[in-house]
Homo-oligomer: A and B are copies of this chain.
Amino acid sequence: MDDSRPADGPRRIKSVQTASEILAAIQRRPDPTFSDVCDELDASKGTVHTYLATLEEEGFVAKVDGRYRLGLRLVTMGETVRNETPLYRAGQLEVDKLADETSEYVHLTVVSRGKEVTIYESRGDNAVATDYHLRMREAPQYLHCTATGKAMLGHFDDDRVRDIIDDQGLVEQTDNTISDTDRLFDELERIRERGYAVNDEEELRGMRSIGAPIRGVDGDVCGAVSVTAPTSRLSGDRFRSEIPELVMQAANIIEVNLETTTFDPSR
């Protein structure tokens, strides 16, 4: 009856959770004013004020003429994360090369907490949907409707896939999105067989992608690479063999780089 007790679980720092919510609120809103931020949180004005002052002092938030933004410290820290991801160092050049060869968008992604994050992107000369891709990188994306995501899911154990589906659901981003668990498992089977994944307007209408998984030194999938293009430019042979071939080659080369590159623990 009395549910207002300590409610024991593992302990957390509530203030850190609150700060995290505030950052999320600022990220969500375009250019929030102080009261905009207050509206999104349920905490008193005074409290929010103290948090914002602290976050600003620490560089996580910046105030530009009366409005709040995320601070540049997030840029430098994000850079550190990328640089310390072996996949980034192993794959960057290859991704650039692939973008050059195809003239389209190329993405290098990793999985984190049931979604995927783009660790590096290269824009070929003809790449389209710049704005979409810009925004897309601001948040982790679903795995079930992208070529990279499906390529990676295809090489996880079924249990892990099931957990992800349970957590994230199979949100229909377009009419083509696979939103049925059984159909998704069939699709993953096919992906394993042929070695690459196809996203046929499942994420965004009018856009197709081809993605291939990248296995790390331990043999587990540690990321994926993909080429994305408008359907009109990604059809026929190019869709069925040329681009898949190039993507798988790139994935393969990145795997080799991963195995042969030493990532110095030196300062």
Contacts and interface: CB of A to CB of B under 8 A. Distances in A.
Contact of A74 (B10, B51, B77): B77
Contact of A117 (B75, B83, B117, B267): B75
A82 B77 contact: no
Interface in A15-43: 15-17, 19-20, 23, 27, 30-31
A258 to B, nearest CB: 15
Given A31-B265, A51-B16, A53-B11, A82 B76 contact: no
A135 B76 CA distance: 10
Contacts of A119: 72, 75
Contacts of A15: 13-16, 19
Nearest to A70: B81
Given A74-B78, A76-B137, 5 more contacts: A12-B50, A15-B19, A16-B51, A17-B58, A78-B79
Interface of A: 10-17, 19-20, 23, 27, 30-31, 50-51, 53-55, 57-60, 62, 69-72, 74-84, 110, 112-113, 117, 119, 134-135, 137-140, 265, 267
24 contacts: A10-B53, A11-B53, A12-B50, A12-B54, A12-B57, A13-B50, A16-B16, A16-B19, A16-B51, A20-B60, A23-B77, A27-B77, A59-B113, A69-B84, A70-B84, A72-B110, A72-B117, A72-B140, A74-B78, A77-B78, A78-B78, A79-B137, A83-B135, A83-B138
